[in-house]
Amino acid sequence: MEKKFEPEFPGQHQDEKIELVFRQHPIVLRKELIIGLLIILAGTGPLLLFPLSDLAMKILIASPIITLAYWFYHWIGWHYSINILTDSRLISIKQRGFFNRKVSEVGLDRVQSINYHIKGLQAALFKFGDITVQTFSGEWLMKSISHPVETHTKMIEVARKVSKEFVPTSTVPDK
């Protein structure tokens, strides 16, 4: 009995194999973390100024709840934004909030070059950087990717396999 094809992601072709799934480094959420902590800190201010006020107590209780909702909103966007490298194409899914998703893809046979850039001490320490994919139609920048060296190496390896499959054979007759 033939096994039924179950796609691992929406839009996966039946003969397509996933080679790598990667995303941005969690450090991209640092700004949201700092803003959330500042909201909590600001929520304690009214209680320090007016210790007996009911409004100050409500603000103190509301600030962590607001912060958790803010963090969750941004975490959803980070968690569901992924890049998928298959044996034939590169797919980028960018999620912003709950109801905003952008999907882009490029065939690996259209890729001209793949480069990475690790800029600064923080990027070197936490192992994140930018990967640029140059195609016939333009440049595709993936910012703050975790482990860019390993990701770049795997992308090059898969792109080379694809390019070997598409290399035309010589049509010059032997003499």
pLDDT tens digits for range 81-111: 999 999 999 999 999 988 999 999 999 988 9
Terminal CA-CA length for the chain: 52
Pick from 139, 93, 76, 42: nearest CA to 130? 139
* pTM exceeds 0.75: yes
**How would you classify the pairing of strands 111-117 and 128-135?**
antiparallel
pLDDT at position 67, please?
97
pLDDT at position 137, please?
85
Please state the length of the chain. 175
